[in-house]
Amino acid sequence: MAISNIKEIISSDIHKVWEAVLAVDKYSTWRSDLSKTEIINEKQFIEYAKNEYATTFTVTVVKPYKRWEFDMENSNMKGHWVGIFTSKGNDTEIDFTENVTPKKWFMKPFVKFYLKKQQTQFVLDLKKALE
């Protein structure tokens, strides 16, 4: 199991940040790591990486403008993501934590590095999208 956390201040109000992060159907317009997303229903969606590798997400908690959680799974890993959103005046603090278990033993040494890389890219893309 690997746990990775990223906490950042986004220079945008909480409503804009929340709407951008939860608009999964628009991810491919601003996320540099995805080719597309597919909405299955109000609780499930699939993200496709640039190489078309699919990860399925199942939303478990939605507390508007406060908390979003989901389970995620693909052929390489299974895990849970927690996003906490806190208004800081005109800014928003995001606190995202991923807890992932690799399905293949040889991936264990790389999981934490991969998660940190993914989280950093997500935040960079999000900040750029909200400029």
Structure pTM? 0.92
Residue 113: CB partners within 8 Å, gap ≥ 6? none
Structure confidence by residue, pLDDT tens digits, 45-101: 999 999 999 999 999 999 999 999 999 999 999 999 999 999 999 999 999 999 999
pLDDT for the residue numbered 108? 86
Which residue ranges form the domains of the chain, and what is each CATH number? 2-129 (3.30.530.20)
What are the start-end ranges of the H helices in 70-107? none
Question: How many whole angstroms separate alpha carbon 1 and alpha carbon 103?
Answer: 10
